[in-house]
Amino acid sequence: MCWYSTLLWFTFAQAMARPTDSQCVLDLKRERAKCSFNKEEITNLLDGGVEKTANRRQIEDLFLSDPEFLDPIRPEYMSHEDRYANELRKACHMVRKFNEDEKVQQIVGQMEGIRTLMGSGLGVALTKDGNPLALHYVMFLPAIMGHGTVDQQAEWMGRAWAGQIFGTYAQTELGHGTFLRGLETTATYDPDTQEFVLHSPTITATKWWPGGLGKTVNYAVVMAQLYTKGTCHGIHPFIVQLRDEETHQSMPGVTVGEIGPRLGLNTNDNGFLRFDHCRIPRTNLLMKHSKVLEDGTYVKPANDKLAYGTMVFVRVAICFDSYRQLQRAVTIATRYSAVRHQSELVPGAPEPQILDYQTQQYKLLPQIATIFGIHFATKDVWDTYNEVTGNIQVGNLDLLPELHALSCGLKALSSGDASSGIETCRLACGGHGYLSSSNLPRIYTTTTAAITYEGENTVMWLQVARYLIKSYREARQGLALHHSVSYLSAQPASTHTTSQLSNAGLVEAYKATVSSMVSETAARLQEYCDMGRPFEHAWNSSSVLLVKCAQAHIRYFTCEKYVVGVENPGLSEGVQNVLRQLCRLYLIYHITLNQGDFLRSGALTGYNMSILEGEMCRLLAALRPDAVSLVDSFDVHDRILDSTLGCWDGNVYQRMFDEAQKSPLNQTDVPEAYYKYLRPLLKANL
């Protein structure tokens, strides 16, 4: 027998030795029988309460049972235009269902409901590769609410909520993204006609990327440089009609279209937009914070920080979305790891579940722990945001800078951790994770986009760093600091002993480490300035260290909120025990990944590290029996998972085979391409 035949026989024999789907189902049943806690309690915790869990399940049942949301074939087998049309069909049906179904409205709530629905796991599952109407609810409406006067809200919100018009948010340009001051689109006021003239003076001024812009929406909130009386007053938001409400033809002076295929979200209808002296009424400038009078007089906002509120809202929403995507990925990978049997732990013994391998546990269990960490930290910032929103109404803006820094940092941490975690989950599924039908590739491409949109993460980290350095300098002057940075006023302890390795002790180690990093980086920054470098160049020369400081700060903040969250006295003993273990794993995991920082600061010793590494291995083993039950507690519906590998019943292999049969290439035994290309080549070589 030749080596190739031997290999084929060995592969076949291995496949025959692996469990049947009935065995896979039994594997998951056995896993669920090991559960040590109340899964429903964790579901309620993540949803925000028993009532919210019940509402979510009701709305999922109402939408997932609707056949209008089914795809005629897998979207991957459709043309680009057909995929867009299919998702637009479902998005429009979603809006109609929400507007016309009183039961849906009662469950979700009229105003916030559809916006939440569009961004939820359900919304993502219903419109798989991007919702062309999502930006209307997630950005267009909040922009009008956040920047429009009461009269402007009355003029635009009713029509927009009713679906009589659809809009997007056009900020990013070909030449500039996060650096808003560099945007080139202009809006010049003409007092003779009381109009603004929007213009794209260069190719790099072309608006680029807004979702829904290409072929879907007929309005946009456009960010442009406001000019009046010969003076530029910076970036301001304008409502601009892009397409005729009856014919959908582009308006005069407007050139709009789709930007072409992307890594993911290819039915999101991302578009480009150019203006050629396009005129709009003066009152289309959203004037809640600043305004232009009829004669062209500019009235500046009472405070430049007032615009932070809308940005904070969007970034906090990204944090929630990111960990929900990670929930989907780790649910798929964990269930698959419980039914997949591979190799031998003991020679001659049956192949174990791959979840029994410590290396697999190390890939997946920290991702489960991460979900709760992001949840507790984001919930804290969300609660603060709601408090700050109330304070803004009475003119109190004290907490806005801290909230801005926290939302920037958490947006960067959650999107970064979720993206890398999802890729880890894909890799944990081996070759099968590379299949489109696993849904892991789509979950990854959807989530990794959040690293860039609404503030590229490196820029976000540098925003946090700027706040840290400012706070550090204020602390040196004896000024009081806000809570999240109050540690910069204190002198951290230099070392930790074994007895201080409690959760509280580890949080102190995080605090001491980030304090040391900020102090050292601030000193380096000052040293560069003392050498005669302009501050901007000194900042750039320190930027790698500044980003590390920002990352350490937000990780410390997350750890602090995690520890507080798991000590909730309202939790049952079983839930509290498993959450404490996950919290402990999270604390230790990120310490071991950044050992150098903790050792360098003196917060921990090499001996401490050795103890923690051993404990981490024990935690992996302790959490292993609850792994499947933990992902079950995320309560992600099979239709929302949309994965051949991650379904509740574990019927993996039959689903994979059935899905493969749906390929258009499998509808005939011999494809047309054989006769057109391969057969002539074979004949020519005879």
Provide the angle, in degrees to the nearest 10, between the axes of the packed helices 110-119 and 308-339. 50
What Cα–Cα distance (Å) separates residue 412 from each residue in 2, 143, 319, 616? 54, 22, 8, 26
| Structure confidence by residue, pLDDT tens digits, 454-485 | 899 999 999 999 999 999 999 999 999 999 99
- pTM, two decimals, is 0.92
Q: What is the pLDDT of residue 7?
A: 38
**Residue 251 carries which DSSP code?**
P
Q: How far is CA 268 from CA 79, 123, 634, 637, 646, in A?
A: 15, 13, 27, 23, 25
* Element of type H or E holding 530: helix 503-530
Q: Do the Cβ atoms of 124 and 446 come closer than 8 Å?
A: yes
Report residue 632 CA to chain centroid gap.
21
What is the longest distance spanned by two Cα atoms in the chain?
A: 92
In Å, how far are 171, 252, 299, 402, 601 from 227, measured between CA atoms? 17, 21, 13, 31, 51
pLDDT at 111: 41
Residues with catalytic roles: 454
The Cα–Cα gap between 244 and 257 comes to 15
Calculate the CA dihedral of residues 246, 248, 251, 254 and round it to 10 degrees. 170
Partners of 281 in beta bridges: 195
- pLDDT for the residue numbered 493: 53
Tell me: the pLDDT tens digits for 237-266? 999 999 999 999 999 999 999 999 999 999
Alpha helices for 567-634 (secondary structure H): 573-593, 595-601, 606-623, 627-632
What pLDDT is stored for residue 4 in this prediction? 40
pLDDT at residue 101 in the model:
80
Low-confidence stretches of the chain (pLDDT beneath 70) = 1-21, 108-116, 119, 304-308, 391-396, 491-499
Average pLDDT, the chain: 91
Nearest to 250 by CA among 267, 273, 269: 273
Residue 154: its pLDDT value, please? 95
